[in-house]
Amino acid sequence: MTDALIHAQNLIRCRSVTPLEGGALSYLERELKASGFTCHRLPFSEAGTPDVDNLYARIGEGSPHICFAGHTDVVPPGDETAWRHPPFAAEIDGGVLYGRGAADMKGGIAAALAAVQQFLRERASPLEGSISFLITADEEGPAINGTKKAVDWLAARGERPDACVLGECTSEETAGDTIKIGRRGSLSCQLTVRGVQGHAAYPHKARNPLPALIDALGLLKMKPLDAGSAHFQPSNLQITSIDTGNPATNIIPAKATARFNIRFNDRHTGDSLKAWVEAQVSAALQGTGIDYTLGYEPVSDSFVTVPGGFVQRLSAAIQAETHREPFLSTAGGTSDARFIKNLCPVAELGLLNATAHKVDECVPLADLETLTRIYARFLQLTFA
């Protein structure tokens, strides 16, 4: 078995469902210390959130400094009896490795670890520069006590990598076909409208908040936010929930609540979209006598790593190992790259995302080896 496969199996067998470390960080710490890394365990806490353990490890001094980032926490497996193979057994079947986290993203961490260990073993001279790992157990959860605070810890120490490779599962059809150079922003909103409860047979004695809510949502959805930008697809607004808490069919409810999410590009900020939402809702409900409140979850603004030497080296490594030119993308949801970009340029490159979070999550062994070779080639190009 290859090093990447051994690492992937050992990591998958750690039951590290968010926010549990489950032994995964301890395994990485042992492997990295054995390879000469100085390791720091970084437990962070905050009231109302679970405590989270994190790991930062570094070897070498000065530049170039390349950081490999990722998360060992995984989402729950769901109904374990529905899996073809037990979700934490890391079994191989037909050239495919099965297990929770195989794609998202213990497989990516395993490939990075194997590539770095191979690179260090094969060097004829001491490393001129630095390699580090920044690993959290809080990416699939609240993301409060994980990478965000680890980045702040690094910045306070004056440690800023020159570039970071985040091993999220970015590939679509074949390993290495996509590099994510940015992410759209995300704004989650809650609109609550209040009327007067009453009997459905006497609507004139009540004030139904639902038509007003529907009008407000209609105005929000009426026009596209934009047509996209140089690196991003058009922004979009999706209504995710409408609820009255009303179990009866003959009662006009007193209030109704809608939730919606906006995924936005670099033509907007969280603050500009909040102002836009409030203007649309105010216009829709003006003169109706319906009271309303708007609430927002913490916003994630969009970002893009403008393609330059770092991204070009990643692309060159992919082309050298796969003979394909990768697509540069900013699609998809959020990731911990939104925190890392405050520290240094970041790009995401990992395994196929087709089975992420699904029953029978898996990764072909060939893809695991391909990604390992890509990472190793990237290190060669960087430290040449």
Between CA 327 and CA 92 the distance in angstroms is: 30
Instruction: Output the CA torsion sign for 275, 281, 285, 291.
Output: negative
CA distance 31 to 38: 11
**CA 44 to centroid of chain Cα atoms:** 19
The active-site residue, picked from 29, 104, 138, 139, is: 139
Distance of CA 22 to the CA centre of its chain: 20
Q: Is residue 139 annotated as part of the catalytic site, yes or no?
A: yes
Distance CA 26, CA 137 (A): 12
Tokens 């260090």 found at: 120
- Per DSSP, 355 falls in state T
Contact 90, 99 (CB under 8 A): yes
- Pick the catalytic residue from 3, 31, 53, 73: 73
Report the C-alpha gap between 116 and 317 in whole angstroms: 14
- 173 a catalytic residue: no
Angle between helix axes 3-12 and 24-34 (nearest 10 degrees) is: 150
* CA gap 43, 50 in Å, rounded: 11
Of 72, 87, 80, nearest in space to 18 by CA: 72
- Residue 63 structure tokens: 């530049």
CB atoms under 10 Å from CB of 158, counted, come to 6
Query: Which residues are catalytic, by number?
Result: 73, 139
